[in-house]
Amino acid sequence: MVDAGVRYLFEPGSVAVVGATNNQSKPGHTIVGNLLKYGFEGSVYPINRTGHSVLGREGYRSIAEIPNEVDLAVLLSAPFETVDLIEECARKKVKAVVICSGGFAEVDDEGRELERRIIDIARETGMRILGPNINGPINTSNNLLLSMAPLMEPKRGNLAFISQTGQFMVWVTEWLQTAFGLGVSKAIDLGNKCDVDEIEVLEYLEQDPATEVIAIHIEALKDGRRLMEAASRIGRRKPVIVLKTGRSQDGARAALSHSGSLAGRDEVTDAALRQAGVIRAQDFDEFLDFAKAFSRLSIPRGNRVGVVTSTGGGGIMALDACERCGLEVATFSAETIERMEGLYPGRERVSKLVDLGPAMGKRDINELYGSALDAMVSDDGIDGIVMMIIVVVTENPTNPDPDILMDLVRRGRKPIIACTTGRQDWVTEYSRTLEAKGVPTYPSPERAVRALAALRRYGSWLEETNGG
Amino acid sequence: MVDAGVRYLFEPGSVAVVGATNNQSKPGHTIVGNLLKYGFEGSVYPINRTGHSVLGREGYRSIAEIPNEVDLAVLLSAPFETVDLIEECARKKVKAVVICSGGFAEVDDEGRELERRIIDIARETGMRILGPNINGPINTSNNLLLSMAPLMEPKRGNLAFISQTGQFMVWVTEWLQTAFGLGVSKAIDLGNKCDVDEIEVLEYLEQDPATEVIAIHIEALKDGRRLMEAASRIGRRKPVIVLKTGRSQDGARAALSHSGSLAGRDEVTDAALRQAGVIRAQDFDEFLDFAKAFSRLSIPRGNRVGVVTSTGGGGIMALDACERCGLEVATFSAETIERMEGLYPGRERVSKLVDLGPAMGKRDINELYGSALDAMVSDDGIDGIVMMIIVVVTENPTNPDPDILMDLVRRGRKPIIACTTGRQDWVTEYSRTLEAKGVPTYPSPERAVRALAALRRYGSWLEETNGG
């Protein structure tokens, strides 16, 4: 069961912003701006000392003054004022509070004491607290965009992103959207986690119909065992990708002063994550690469990979990467080999790499990629396909038509992942078309293969878990 | 001593293109087009059956007909015609020949036999052969742009790029230029290496004044020992970055049919490369990342790294990456700590991560980054700096001014590497400015740290080699 208060963090009917102002350089202006600009589907109540209106919305001097119910309050106040405000929220029967301000447990003993008092009020009243030391949650379903930084127009997607911290959450969300073409369903940063933690957020996302994949950045686990239990249960329905940082001694120490919590031993974490079926990203690049793959592709039924390329050099890198990532380079069926050889008059034989390079320019590009993919899609010995495309622009069409590729993808129901490269502007444009059709693209063969391998590791875990 | 014939591959006074045509869809048109469009500083002689002119240049029916000396001949002919043409070139006393056509040792026994006959002619006459099965060399100093694919306007740089194969060479060169902002001094693909191999090309690049860094992609070593000897000698003056593929069993087998040569055991290669001071890239991403770092940065004098960031989350990733890559997170001097603490009123203490996050928006961004960098640049306990910047665009300047950063970089004479992230368009624009000032940028903290670690590994090797 998802706690009602946690649900109000994402789905409030009304939001009070304490510290709302018309001073454009202040976060109390930006938050109201983000809510209004992108049409939050609920009421917005600016609160400030004089009760003046902000961006045309009627203002109030206190939460108590608001004539209607308030589901969610956002606090931008100085730490020493926060306890009083939380008490006021409790009296108003506010369902949930987001404390954006920093200066609590991450800073000193005084801050820790303030957090303890806030937690006490939450426990007594049942009011839920997110933060402190955060940016605020984003829900693209109702345009709840609680960000202290000005946001770009959000893009909806099936990926939920949980971040330890606020700056990271905002830039990753915008980097995902602009550089990876990925929208989010929800994005949330946890900060000091004085009350609501990653587990309750995961439980909310588990039942959120807009969320199909969950990516979570954690610096420190408060309760590893509970997290693994939750992740393992949720993982059966929705893949959970984790970037656990603070792995090194120095990193762990910095995490302690950054978000006020202690990181455990990394090997222990690693084993526990693996057992819980969590997809662990080794670094930030993998985190985003995996998020893209899981949000767009089906899970391969086995680990046998077929590689088709117009660059032999790049194809060999993909084969190398398969071995390194525990994937098997598929041995083609006799029929596939025969069909491939029709594409290569004069070549000795197709072994394990379909290199269209020598036939490029001599045959129609769609015929080449189309025939190769058609054979690979029909071959039961191939579970997933890596496709390398050098994007070129000339008068004649020299890139495979994404529509033709997509018909094959749909028919085959096996994941096809692409590496696209060439001139950056051409690559960006072509990749966008390909991704709109459901084929995620990567700038190197190794990154494409690593993402496919992560999909397969998750597939193996699912099979073991469901079989056991 | 660089062989005169090898020099003519890059610095010919005249080029004959056999197979030149006005048919725009043919490589024999594109090559002449690339030479003329970008102003090759030498004569261009189109050769074809009827001797017609191509793109306004007077044509000839054969090499023999050309009234002047020919330094370099480019052959696009079918394999079976190639031997006769090579003989004709020899009679004309052509200095070097580039055989673009494929269909030789990489295909079948007949092809291998043709290659043997070509090598015999080269040996007898001293004429040097590059290829077959290649795209052709690029020299940005004289605009010799021998490419069967239409090229974009080339950018000059201090990086020479040697590739095993042609498609790979063209797209990597253009990807480097457009996505990494890196120009090349020379780019060359080796193909089947029937005569000129990577060692002679390396020797040419060793003495080439336009080349300061060499990046080489190899699928198979013909003569590992000689290569290591050459790399080890060249490495003392110019860093040599290697991407050796065909590492896996399947990859090695594909390399055999791709470029007609056999890859050795990877662990042996790995040890030999390390001993020779070669910087080995583990994958394609590292290859380009390292090329960028080496072509822009000085070598750090030690392995102690300082990290400054406006995102604690990203900073912790950088610390984790340092440990993983064998770099030490620097312990700041008492003076540095004191200066940092001035930036953070209320923070407990600066340990090993300079996290400007909490002070952002409260102090001027240039004061923050400037003071932190100034302290780190002056601290003798820090050998290299990783700087994380979230690029934001608002009315007030919220990104550190690249000019201010650069003054510090110049004064400190220690490498500063950046991770820039945020919205892609802003990141691209800001990164370009930063790179123009000499600070290479990466999209993740781990990639920045890995590149810095590669610089340091090379530095250690240099110290050991020069000390011994």
A33-76 pLDDT per residue, tens: 999 999 999 999 999 999 999 999 999 999 999 999 999 999 99
Residue A407 pLDDT grade (very low, low, confident, very high; cuts 50, 70, 90):
confident
* Inter-CA distances, A431 with A240, A288, A380, A424, B10, Å: 25, 16, 28, 10, 35
Distances (CA, A) of B194 to A460, B1, B104, B260: 46, 20, 10, 10
Residues 6+ apart with CB under 8 A from A194: A99, A104, A105, A115, A118, A119, A122, A129, A131, A132
Contact criterion met (CB < 8 Å) for A175 and B254: no
Q: Which helix (H) or strand (E) holds A99?
A: strand A96-99
Residue A313 is nearest to which of B107, B217, B392, comparing CB atoms? B217
pLDDT, average across residues A122-130: 96
Give the residue-averaged pLDDT of A305-318. 93
Which residues in chain A have their CB less than 8 angstroms from residue B368's CB?
Answer: none
Q: Which residues touch B87 (CB under 8 Å, ≥6 apart)?
A: B121
Does residue B348 surpass a pLDDT of 50? no
Q: Which residue has the tokens 């590149």?
A: B451
Query: Does B25 have pLDDT greater than 90?
Result: no
On chain A, the residues whose CB falls within 8 A of the CB of B314 are 167-168, 284
Pairing mode, strands A240-244 and A213-218: parallel
Return the residue of B nearest to A181 by Cα: B424
Residues of chain A above pLDDT 90, percent = 69
Residues in A touching B165 (Cβ below 8 Å): 311-313
* Per-residue pLDDT tens over the stretch B359-387: 877 788 888 899 899 999 999 999 999 99
Q: Are A378 and A332 in contact (CB under 8 A)?
A: no
Pick the range with the lowest mean pLDDT from A363-367, A455-459, B103-107, B220-224. Answer: B220-224
Percentage of chain A beyond pLDDT 70 is: 95
Give the mutation candidate from B167, B262, B265 for the A interface (greatest A CB count, under 10 A).
Answer: B167
In angstroms, rounded to a whole number, what is the distance separating the alpha carbons of residues A20 and A30?
A: 9
* B149 in A contact zone (CB under 8 Å): yes
Structure tokens at A196: 């609501």
More confident residue, B393 or A462: A462
Does the pLDDT value for residue A2 go beyond 50? Answer: yes
Six token digits for residue A4? 């009602």
Residues B423-459 have pLDDT tens digits of: 998 999 999 989 988 899 999 999 999 999 999 999 9
Check CB contact under 8 Å for B390 and A171: yes
Q: Residue A419: is its pLDDT beyond 90? A: yes
Contact A283 B25 (CB under 8 A): no
Distances (CA, A) of A192 to A100, A105, A107, B390: 10, 7, 11, 22
| CB-based contact B300:B308 (threshold 8 Å) | no
Stretch 317-356 of chain A: residues touching chain B, C-beta under 8 Å: 317, 319-324, 329, 346-348, 351-353, 355
CB of A24 within 8 Å of any CB in chain B? Answer: yes
Q: Do B250 and A168 make contact, defined as CB atoms within 8 angstroms? A: no
Q: Which residues fall within 8 angstroms of residue A37, CB to CB, at 6 or more apart?
A: none
What's the mean pLDDT in B102-116? 90
> Residue B191 pLDDT > 60, yes or no?
yes
Residue pair B94/B127 in contact (Cβ under 8 Å)? The answer is yes
Question: Around Cβ A50, how many Cβ atoms within 10 Å?
Answer: 6
**Residue A423 and residue B152: Cβ atoms within 8 Å?**
yes
CA distance A314 to chain B (A): 7
pLDDT (average), residues A123-145 = 96
Q: Which of B175, B313, B444 sits opposite A421 (nearest CB)?
A: B175
Cβ-Cβ contacts under 8 Å, B172 against chain A = 421
Q: At what angle do helices A224-235 and A198-207 cross, to 10 degrees?
A: 10
DSSP-H helix ranges across A191-283: 198-207, 224-235, 249-259, 266-275
Q: What angle do CA B287, B288, B290 make, to 5 degrees?
A: 70
Q: Which segments within B335-403 are labelled E, that is strand?
A: 353-355, 384-391
Mind telling me how many Å the CA of B348 is from chain A's nearest CA? 6
pLDDT for the residue A350: 59
Give the residues across from B145 on adjacent strands.
B138
Residues 6+ apart with CB under 8 A from A450: A286, A289, A321, A325
Antiparallel, parallel or unpaired: β B138-139 and B184-189: antiparallel
CB contacts of B253 in chain A (<8 Å) are 351-352
ipTM tops 0.85? yes
- Min Cα separation B64/chain A (Å): 30
B-chain CB neighbours of A258 within 8 Å are 312-313, 315-316, 353, 355
Specify the 3-state DSSP secondary structure of A10.
Answer: helix
Per DSSP bridges, beta strands B240-244 and A416-422 are unpaired
Residues 6+ apart with CB under 8 A from A345: none
Nearest by CB: A257 against B254, B329, B351: B351
The pTM is what?
Answer: 0.94
Closest approach of A173 to chain B, Cα-based (Å): 8
Give dist(CA A340, CA A404) in Å, integer. 18
Chain B 34-93, residues with CB within 8 Å of chain A CB atoms: none
User: Are the beta carbons of A257 and B348 separated by less than 8 Å?
Assistant: yes
Q: Tell me which residue in A323, A357, A396 faces B248 most closely, judged by beta carbons.
A: A323
Exposed, middle or buried by CB within 10 Å (0-12, 13-18, 19+), for B395? exposed
Question: Which residue of chain B is at minimal alpha-carbon distance from A324?
Answer: B248
**Residue contact B323–A250, C-beta within 8 A:** yes
Percentage above 70 pLDDT, chain B: 95
Mutate to test the interface with A, among B133, B316, B348, B442 (most CBs of A within 10 A): B316
What six digits make up the tokens of B168?
């790979």
Cβ-based contacts of A392 with chain B (< 8 Å) = 149
A284 touches chain B (CB under 8 A): yes
- For B316, the closest of A103, A178, A258 (CB atoms) is A258
Backbone angles phi, psi at B173, to 5 degrees: -60, -45
> Nearest 10 degrees: CA dihedral of B226, B231, B232, B237?
140
How far apart are alpha carbons B133 and A347 in whole angstroms?
Answer: 14
Contacts of B179 in chain A (CB under 8 A): 424, 427, 443
**Cis before residue A132, ω within 30 degrees of 0?**
yes
**Cα atoms in the 13 Å half-sphere on the side-chain side of B7:** 8
Of A171, A175, A283, nearest to B446 by CB-CB distance is A283
Lowest mean pLDDT across A403-417, B39-53, B367-381, B449-463 = A403-417
The pLDDT of residue B350: 60
pLDDT grade for A348, boundaries at 50, 70 and 90: very low
Cis peptide before B132 (omega within 30 of 0): yes
Query: CB of A464 within 8 A of CB of A456?
Result: no
Interface check for B451 against chain A (CB to CB < 8 A): the answer is no
CB contacts < 8 Å between A and B, how many?
228
Q: What pLDDT score was predicted for residue B253?
A: 83
